[in-house]
A and B are shown apart, each in its own frame.
Chain A
Amino acid sequence: MARPDWNWYLKKRKTGSPVPNRLAAGNNSVGRPFQAVVNGADSLERPFYTREFMIQRIILVVVLASGGLNITDRSAYAEDLFRDRIAPILERRCVSCHNDRQQEGDFSLQTAKSALADGYIEPGDPESSHLLDLITSANGKASMPKDADPLSAEEVGLIRDWIRAGAVWPEGLRLEEAQVNDFDWWSFKPVQRTDVPFSDDPWVRTPIDAFILQRLQDKGLTHATEADRRTLVRRLSFDLIGLPPTPEETQAFVRDPDPQAYERVVDRLLDSKHYGERWARHWLDVVKYADTCGYDKDKLRHNAWPYRDYVIRSFNENKPYARFVQEQIAGDALFPGEPDGILGLGFIAAGPWDFIGHVEVPESKIDGKVARNLDRDDMVSNTLNTFCSVTIQCARCHHHKFDPFTQQNYYGLQSIFAAVDRAERPYDLDPDVEAQRRKLDSQVRDLKAELAALQKEISDSGRPHLTELRTQVTELQKQQQVRKDPAFGYHSAIAKSRDSVKWVEVTLRQPADVSRVVLHACHDEFAGIGGGFGFPVRFKVEVTRDAKDNGKVEWITIADHTQRDFPNPGLMPVEIECPGKQIQRVRVTATQLAERKNDFILALAELELRNSTGHRIDLANDAQVTALDSIEAPVRWQKSNLVDGKWALGGDSALDQHLKELTGELQSLLAKIETPQRVQRRETLTASIAEAETALKALPSGKMVYAAATHFAPQGSFRPTEGKPRPIHVLQRGEVQRPGDEVAPCVLPLSPDADWQLESGLSESQRRAELARWLTRPDHPLVWRSIVNRIWQYHFGQGIVATPNDFGRMGAEPTHPQLLDWLASEFRDGGQSFKALHRLMVTSSVYRQSSDNNEQNAAIDGSNQYLWRMNRRRLEAEEIRDSILSVSGALDPSAGGPGFYLFELEHPQHSPHYEYHKFDPGIPASHRRSIYRFIVRSQPNPWMTTLDCADSSQSTPRRNETLTSLQALSLLNNRFNLVMAERFAQRLQQQTTALEDQVDLAMQLTTQRRPEPEEHREFTDFARQHGLTNLCRFMLNLSEFVYLD
C-alpha cells in the first residue's frame, strides 16, 4: 500500500503557539496542567493553602491590621496575591462565562478595566463589593458560579483580602479561561518499539508471551497451564467466527497429531467467511450502527446495510487498517471511482439522526440549529472516539477539562463535517453513465441560466413598474388578516420540476348547471409563503358532461392560462365564467406548478361551483374529488378538503379590493411585456430543460448506501449543501444561540508544537481527506495503539488499556505499556493486517491458558489484569442466538443483503411500529446470523437487549455482562427458544434413533463434550418423561452452553 504524503503537514506549519498565551511570563502556577484525577471534578481543586503561604499570609494580614504596612507594600501584597491565588480561581471558575466576548450579565473578568468598571469590585472596600455577595454561599448555594458548586470559604476569603488590600490587578494582565495544555501523558508520546524481553522459559512461544511473563514475574504471579484441546477449539471458534465448532471439527482437532494442529485451526477459522461476520460486529458496536434513525419516528434506513456488508468484507479481505480508516472518513475523495470509497462513508452516517429536527424544522430555527449541531457532534465524536480513543465531545461546551483540547479544536473538527449530512447516495456507478450524467447536468445548468436571463429580460422591460406592482401585491397579501380552518385544502405530491403536470378533479353525483367556477387558493406559512400557497403558475380549467372516462370525453376548456404565467391571486378568489349545462366533472390541470421551497406543488383550498342564480352548489356531500396524486395528510391536506366549503379568508374588504385592482393591473402589464417572441423562446427553453431532465432521470441511478452525502434528494427542510460547508462557530457553552468566532477546519494538536490548523479554503472533500491522512500518519501516537488495544480486548476480555474509547486522563493507563507499543508498531509496520494480529495473539501461550482459578494468584491480582489465566466469558447476545440456530440445525449461513426482520412492521408511513411480540420466530428468513438482522435503534430487540446487546445509540467499546432473572426467562420461554428447541429435537431425531445417542449428540453440539455418565442418565430420564424437545429447551440454558472457559 502506498504511504500517504506527509509533506502537507510540514508545509503548513505556522508560527506561534496554538495555545493562547496565559499569564505573564514567569508564572508557572496557572499554566500548569491539572493533575490526573481519581474522583472527577472535585479533585481538580488544587490546594490553595500551602503551609508556607499560610504563615506568610497570616503575618501580612496581621501587619495590615496593625496599620504598619506602607502603601507600596500593601499594593505589592495585593498584586502578588492576585497573580498567585486570585487569578487561578477566576480563570478556573469565572472566566469561561465572564469574558470580553460573552459578557454574561454584562460583566467580564478578563481585564482590570472591565472587572473593576461596574462596582462589582470596590478596591479597599469589601463590604461594598457586590462580587462578594454573589459568590458567598449560604446553605451550600451561591448565586455564582451559576449551576456549579460555590467557591470554598477559603477562596472567598482570599478574594475578600485582595479587595481589602486594594484589589490591585497586575498591569496588562489578561485572564484566560483555564485549559489543560499539557501533553505529558502516555498516549500522546510517540509509539516506542522496545526489544522483546529475553526469556528462555519454554512457555514463551511468541513475543507477547515474553512481555506478559515479565510482568507476571514482576508481580509474583505464575501463568496457568494450557487448556485442553476441546476448550481451545471452542474458545478459538467463538472468538474468531462467533459460532461453536461442530462435533466433527472438535474431534478432528482433539485427535490431530500434527504439531501444527492448533495453528491449522486458527488459519481455517481466519479463512472462514464467518470471520468477518464476527469481527464486523465488534466494529459496528463501536460506531453505533443501526438500520433505523432513532429519535422520534425512528424511520427505517433501507440502505444502511451495504455499509455493514462493507465492514464484513473488509475484515474478510484483510484490508490494511490505514485504507480501512481512510475509506470511512474520505473514501470518495481519496479513492474516486471505487465503490468501497463510498460504502465506507456509512461510518459517518452510522449513528442516530433526528428526523423531525432536520426535515420538519429548518436550519434557520433554533431547534433546527440544535439538531444539526448535535448531528455534527455525533460525527466528530464517532471519529475521534473510534479511531483515536479521544473523548473530544467533552470540549463542546467548554475546553476539555482533563485533556489538552480546546473548544476551538472541537469546532474545527465540526468544520470538517460541515458540508455533509446523512442520506442515501449511489455507490456503484458505471463511468460511462457518469460521463453522460455530467454532460446532461451541465446542459440543464446552461439552459436554466439562459431561461433565467430571459425571465430577467422580461421583467426588466416591465421595470420599474412591474417590480413595484409585485412588491405591492406581496405586501398587501401579507397584510391580509387571515382566518382559516385547519383543513387547508388539497395538496398534490411534491414534484422536483416545475413542469410536472398535475390535475385535480371534482365529480358531481348529479349533473348541474354551472355558471361560474371559483378557485380559492390556500394559505400556509410554510417557507413564509402564506396566501396563494400552491396556486398554479400556469393552468387550465375544463368541464365535461361525461361522468366517466368512456374514451370519448368531451372536455370544454373554460379557462386557459397555460401560455402565460398567472399572477398569484393570494387569498383573492379566481372566478371563471362557465357556459355549462348539466356539468358532471370539473378539472383543474396545472402545467406549471407553484414553487414551495426548491420543490413544486399544486394546492387549492376550494373549488366552488355557482349555479345560474349565482348560488353555491353544495359539493361537500355531493361530489367526489380525484387527483393525479395527493399527499393526504389530514387534517390539513386531503382531497376532500377541496369541496368542504372551507378556505382561508382575508378580513379587510377595502384591502381585498385594492389587491384585486393591483392584481388586474399586474396581469395586463405581464400580457404587454410577454411578447410572442419571448413566449416562444421561453417555451423552447422550457421544453429543452424538461427533455434533458427526463434523460437524466432515465439514467441508471446505481445502488444506494446510507452514508455521508453532500448531494441527495431534499426532504422538507432537509436540504443538501451541495458541498458548500456551513459556517461553523465556536458556541459559547455549546449553545447555538451564542455563536463566537468562526473556525477553520482542523485536526487535533497532539504535542505542544503541533500544527493542527487546516486552511480555511479547503473544499469539503479536501477537509475530510486531510483528516483521513492525519488519522493514518505512521507517527500518530493514538491511532495504532487504539486499534491493537481493541483487538486485544476482544481476545483477552480486557484491554491493555481498560478504557478503549478513552486514552485521556480520565481513562485507564496501560497495564503493559511496552507490549501495547510493540503490538502497535508491529501492526503498523507489518502490513496492518488484522488476520496477522489475531494469529499473533491467539497462538500465544497466554491465550492458550486455562481459565482455572488459582487462589494465590487471585490474592495478588483478583481482576486478572496481568493475565495469569485466561478470562472466562459469557457469550454475547449474537453468539448465543447464532449458536442456538447452529446447534438446532436451523442456521441459514447465507451472507449479506438487506437486514431480516425480527418484528412485524406496522405503520411504516408515519411512525413505524416494530412489533416484536407479533413476530413468528419459525420464519426461515429470520434464521440467519444475527449480524444480518435489521437493527432498530429506538426499539431494540428485547431478547437481544436482555442479553446485553450493544445499544446503537451510543458507542459500545465493550459489552456489559450482566446476569438477571429476565435473562433466564428469555432463554427459557422466549418463542424463539421454544421454536428452536423443537428444531433441535428434530435434528437429533433425524441424525440418530436411540434416545441415548440423541442425548449424547445434544451434549456434543451444545458443549463440545460427551456427557458424564451421571449427566447422561439424568438427561435421558428427563427426556423419557417430558420429551426430547423439553430436554433441548433446557440444554440451551446450560451455563456451559453460554460460558466460554
Chain B
Amino acid sequence: MINRRHFLSQAGSGFGALALASMLHRHSAAADSAAMQTLHHPPRIKRVVQLFMAGAASHLDLWDYKPLLEKHHGEASDFGEHVEAFQNGLGPWMKSPFKFAPYGESGKMLSEVVAPLGECVDDIAFVHNMVGRTGVHSQATYLQATGFQRPGFPGMGAWVSYALGSINDNLPTFVVLPDHRGFASNGPKNWSSAFLPASSQGTAVFPQRDDPIEDLLPHAKFATQASDAAGLAMLNRINRRYQSQRPGDSRLEARVRSYELAAAMQLSAPEALDISGEPEHVLKMYGLDRAGAAYPSEINAPEEVEYFGRKCLTARRLLERGVRFVQIWSGNDNGFPRRNWDSHEDIARDHGPLARGMATGTAALIKDLKQRGLLEDTLILWTTEFGRMPSTQAGKGRDHNPYVFTNWLCGGGIKGGVTHGESDQWGYKPLDRDNPTQVYDIHATILHQLGIDHTKLTVRHDGVDRRLTDVHGHVLTDILA
C-alpha cells in the first residue's frame, strides 16, 4: 500500500528516478501537447480560474445593488410587459435581505455577504448585463460552461488545454474542483473534452478524499514502493523493446513517455495538494484556521468558508505549479436541503452562507495571487448559469432570471474597478436591451487574453468547424487594461 505521505518523502527511489527521467525530458515531445504551435497574438495571461456558482446565484443580492427595490419592497411587481417566469416568481418586488455598502476607490456597492471581496473590487471588472438563453438549469449550465446549451461540446477549460497544452507535464493541464457534496447539473459533462482529445478533459480533484486524483496511487497490499519502482522500470524496458521493433510509430514512444509522466505526476500531485505546510497566516486568510471544527447540520457560513477556502488554496498551489485552467464549483445539484444557489424559497438562508464562504475564499485567492505576482497573468472569472428575479415567489425566495445576471473578471490584464454594461433599475433585464453581453463575449475575451483569436480556434467535427463561441462573440475591449 502506498500513501500520499510516503510519496512526499521518496523522491530518490527508483520510482523517483523514472519521474526524474520525465522531468529531464520535459521539453521533448510531451504526450499531451498543444494544438496551437503559435499564438494568434501576444498573450496577456497564462492561466485561468473559473468560479462557477451552481444553481444560479442572485446578482441582486451580491453585486448588483438596486435602491429601487428597497423603495418598492413588498409592492406588487409590474414589469411593464409579459414575463415568462420559470416557476411562479412574479410576486411582489423584494429588496435584498442583505445590506449594501460602498467599497474601494471605485466605491462599488457590494452586499454584506460578499464584503471580504470589498478589498478586491478595484481589481474587478463587473459585467452586469449578462443574458442567457434559457431558464432551465441544465441547458443554462451547459451554455455558460461549454458555449452550447446542449450536451456534446467541450468545456472552456478543455478548449484552452487543447489549444495551449500543458505548462507543467507533471500535473494535469485542466483541473476541476467540484463541490464535494455532489456535481452540479450535467456533472462532468461540463468539463468533458467531447470531440476534442481526451487529454484535454478536466481532471476532477477532490482534496478531501483519500484519493484526491482518481488512480494516482495503487490501493492494494501487494503494491509497494519497491514493487512499483521495479515494475515501472521493467515495463519501461519491455515497452521500449516493443517500440524499437516497430519503427515509424510515434504512438509507441508516446506511450512509454506517458508512464514516465504518470510517475512524475505521482510525485508532483500529492505535494501540490498538500496544504499542511502552508503558514498559519495563509491558512487563516483562506478561512482554514479551525481544523477539526464541528458544524451543525443546517447550512452555515463557517462551514462554507472552510469548504470553499480549501478549494481556493488548492487552486493557488496548482496554479503556481503550472496548472493552466482551474474550475471551482460551489453548489451541488438543485435538490434539498439546499447546498446550492437555487434559492426559490429563501435567499437569506442559502445565499448568506454560500456567499460568505465563496467571498472569503475568493478574496484570499485574489490577494494571494497578487502578492505572489501571479495575478498579472492569471485571469479569474466568476460566473453562474443565470440570475434571479427582483420579485419574490410569494415567500422569501426568487425565481430564475435568465434575462439578466452578473459575471465578473479579475486579474490578467483586466481593468479593475469598472463596470461593463448595467442592468435596468429593477435588475430584470439589461439597461440597454439591444446590447447585452453574452457568454460568447466572456469566452472570446478570455481566449483573447490567452493570445487566441476565438474565431480561429476551430475543430472540424461532423461537418462543422466548431468553436467555443459558436458563430458569436466579441472581445470586451473596454475592460482590458
Contact = CB atoms under 8 A, between A and B. Distances in A.
A964 B31 contact: yes
A938, A973, A1031, most chain B CB atoms within 10 A = A973
A361 B223 CA distance: 52
Interface string B447-475: 00000000100101011110000011010
Interface in A844-877: 851-853, 855, 858, 872, 874
17 contacts: A296-B136, A361-B136, A367-B134, A370-B136, A370-B139, A485-B394, A634-B336, A872-B249, A938-B183, A942-B214, A951-B194, A953-B151, A953-B194, A960-B197, A962-B198, A972-B259, A1022-B234
A482 B151 contact: no
B377 to A, nearest CB: 25
B241 to A, nearest CB: 8
B135 A367 contact: yes
A1024 to B, nearest CB: 11
Interface stretch (A559-567, A775-783, A1034-1042): A1034-1042
A525 B90 CA distance: 11
A784 B255 CA distance: 38
Interface in B178-226: 182-183, 185-189, 192, 194-195, 197-199, 201, 203-204, 209, 211, 213-220, 222-224, 226
B136 A371 contact: yes
Interface in A763-804: 803
B394 A484 contact: yes
Interface in A810-850: 810-811
Interface in A608-646: 634-635
A354, A482, A1026, A1037, most chain B CB atoms within 10 A = A1026
A951 B463 contact: no
Interface residues of B, number: 99
A294 B151 contact: yes
Given A486-B345, A1025-B230, A1038-B238, A40 B465 contact: yes
B27 interface: no
B246 A951 contact: no
A166 interface: no
A911 B189 contact: no
Interface string A920-949: 000000000000000001111011011110
B247 interface: yes
B112 interface: no
A970 B214 CA distance: 8
B242 A1040 contact: yes
Nearest to B201: A945
B231 A938 contact: no
A938 B230 contact: no
B303 to A, nearest CB: 20
Nearest 8 A/B pairs, CB to CB? A853-B248, A296-B138, A391-B463, A953-B151, A954-B152, A965-B261, A806-B463, A968-B262
A811 B383 CA distance: 36
Contact of B463 (A294, A297, A808, A1030): A808
Contacts of A205: none
A6 interface: no
Contact of B136 (A367, A805, A1027): A367
A954 B31 contact: no
Given A872-B249, A954-B194, A1030-B231, A148 B259 contact: no
Interface in A956-1000: 957, 960-970, 972-975, 978, 981-982
A964 B258 contact: yes
Contacts of B215: 943, 966, 969-970, 972-974
Contacts of B262: 965-966, 968-969, 972
Interface residues of A, number: 103
Nearest to A298: B187
* Chief secondary structure at chain B's binding surface: loop
B122 to A, nearest CB: 27
A296 B234 contact: no
A774 B216 CA distance: 52
Contacts of B265: 965, 969
A439 interface: no
A508 interface: no
Nearest to B137: A296
Contact of B235 (A149, A851, A1038): A1038
B259 to A, nearest CB: 5
Contacts of A635: 336, 345
A907 interface: yes
Contacts of B152: 352, 951, 953-954
B249 A147 contact: no
Interface in B121-149: 133-139, 141, 149
Contacts of B13: none
Contact of A1038 (B134, B220, B223, B242): B242
A391 B464 CA distance: 8
A295 interface: yes
Contacts of A296: 136-138, 141, 185-186, 333-334
Contacts of B234: 1018-1019, 1022, 1034
Contacts of B96: none
A568 interface: no
Contact of A966 (B203, B227, B235, B345): B203
A141 interface: yes
B137 to A, nearest CB: 5
B93 to A, nearest CB: 15
A667 B289 CA distance: 68
Contacts of B230: 1022, 1025-1026
B138 A1037 contact: no
Contacts of A1030: 222-223, 227, 231
Given A148-B471, A356-B136, A978-B219, A1039 B255 contact: yes
B223 A978 contact: yes
A391 B258 contact: no
Contacts of B412: none
B373 interface: no
A255 interface: no
Contacts of B213: 969
Contacts of B194: 951, 953-954
Given A486-B344, A939-B187, A973-B215, 18 more contacts: A295-B138, A361-B136, A485-B395, A486-B397, A635-B345, A806-B462, A808-B463, A855-B248, A917-B211, A965-B259, A966-B172, A973-B223, A975-B219, A982-B220, A1018-B234, A1022-B234, A1039-B239, A1039-B256
A758 to B, nearest CB: 25
A634, A946, A964, most chain B CB atoms within 10 A = A964
B471 A295 contact: no
B218 A853 contact: no
Interface in B332-386: 333-336, 344-346
A365 interface: yes
Contacts of A907: 335
A1043 interface: yes
Given A295-B186, A938-B188, A1033 B231 contact: yes
Contacts of B195: 951, 954
Nearest to B344: A486
Given A370-B139, A939-B183, A1026-B231, A973 B218 contact: yes
A61 interface: no
Interface in B300-327: none
Given A296-B185, A874-B251, A964-B258, A354 B218 contact: no
B84 interface: yes
B422 interface: no
A1031 B336 CA distance: 48
B61 interface: no
B242 A969 contact: no
Contacts of A910: 333, 335-336
Nearest to B195: A954
A1015 interface: yes
Given A296-B138, A940-B188, A962-B197, A968 B463 contact: no
B151, B183, B264, most chain A CB atoms within 10 A = B151
